[in-house]
Structure 1
Amino acid sequence: MRWAHVGLNCHDQCATEEFYTRWFGFRRARTVPVGDGEILFLRNGDTHLELFPTPGEPAAPSATADGPAQPGAVRHIAFQTDDIDELLAAMGEAAHVTLGPLDFDDVLDGWRTVWLRDPDGVVVEVSQGYRDQEAIEITEREIHV
């Protein structure tokens, strides 16, 4: 099994495509005609986003902080960068920060995170300095299989 993609409903598909291509390094990988529009697949390395044209207004207000906390809702999507401050400076007014930047040096030296809102209100986490724990022992009862 391997990761495939995240599907995003877009009020303004062009604005959403521009946001992820300009700031997160995606490029258009495929278009699929559907009805009067098309589904856009964006790619950055092995990561794909599938953008669906969705008419009408968002079902809920734009998320805040690090994303919605309701079960069944995606809290946020996340990316890594080498320098959050550089990204935020480059984005300027396009950076709609919902939380942070916050430092997590008490957990991992050099770990910083900021949360942004994309054009459709999806919260996007951007971190620098995160790395996996070196050794984690998990017992069978912790796995919940």
Structure 2
Amino acid sequence: MRWAHVGLNCRDQRATEEFYTRWFGFHRARAVPVGDGEILFLRNGDAHLELFPAPGESAAPSALADGPAQPGAVRHIAFQTDSVDELLAAMGEIAHVTLGPLDFDEVLDGWRTVWLRDPDGVVVEVSQGYRDQEAVETAERKINV
């Protein structure tokens, strides 16, 4: 089993495509005609986003903090960068920060995170310095990473 993609409903597919290609390194991998519109597939390495046309108002709550907490709602999508501060400086006014940047040095030295809104209100987490633990204990078995 492999991860495939995240599907996003977009008021303006072009604005959403621009956001993820410009700031998160995606490129258009495919456009599939559907009715009067199209579905856009974006790729960054093994990560894919599927952009669906969805005119009208955003169903996403006004993005606050690190995303919606309701069951069944995606809280946020997340990316890694070398420098949260450099990304925010480059984005300037385009960066609609909902929380942070916050430092998590008490958990992991150098871990820093900010949460942003994409053009449709989806919360996007951007972190630097996160690393997995060397071994994670579960109730059933020990997992070595």
Q: Between Structure 1 and Structure 2, how many residues are aligned?
A: 142
- Tell me, what secondary structure is at the counterpart of 2:127? strand
Question: What is the CA distance between 1:96 and its match in structure 2?
Answer: 0.3
Question: What is the CA distance between 1:60 and its match in structure 2?
Answer: 4.2
Is the contact made by 2:31 and 2:41 (CA closer than 8 Å) also made in structure 1? yes
The answer as to 2:104 corresponding to 1:104 is yes
Partner of 2:117: 117
Could you tell me which amino acid in structure 2 is paired with residue 73 of structure 1? A
Tell me whether 58-67 or 36-45 shows the greater mean CA deviation: 58-67
CA distance in 1, matches of 2:74, 2:60: 13
Structure 2: gaps of 5 or more residues: none
CA distance in 2, matches of 1:24, 1:46: 13
Write out per-residue CA displacement over residues 13-57 of structure 1, whole angstroms, 9 at most, x where no aligned residue: 110000000000000000000111000000000000000000111
CA distance in 2, matches of 1:123, 1:25: 17
Partner of 2:42: 42
Matches within 5 A, 1:130-141: 130-140=130-140
Provide the aligned C-alpha RMSD in A: 1.3
- Tell me, what secondary structure is at the counterpart of 2:88? helix
* TM, length-normalised to structure 1: 0.95
* TM, length-normalised to structure 2: 0.95
- Tell me, what secondary structure is at the counterpart of 1:59? coil
- Tell me, what secondary structure is at the counterpart of 2:49? strand
Is the contact made by 1:103 and 1:112 (CA closer than 8 Å) also made in structure 2? yes
Matches within 5 A, 1:1-145: 1-140=1-140
Question: What is the CA distance between 1:139 and its match in structure 2?
Answer: 2.4
Report sequence identity in percent.
89
Question: What is the CA distance between 1:130 and its match in structure 2?
Answer: 0.1
Could you tell me which amino acid in structure 2 is paired with residue 8 of structure 1? L
Segments of 4+ moved more than 3 angstroms: none
Question: Which structure shows the higher strand fraction?
Answer: 2
CA distance in 2, matches of 1:63, 1:119: 11
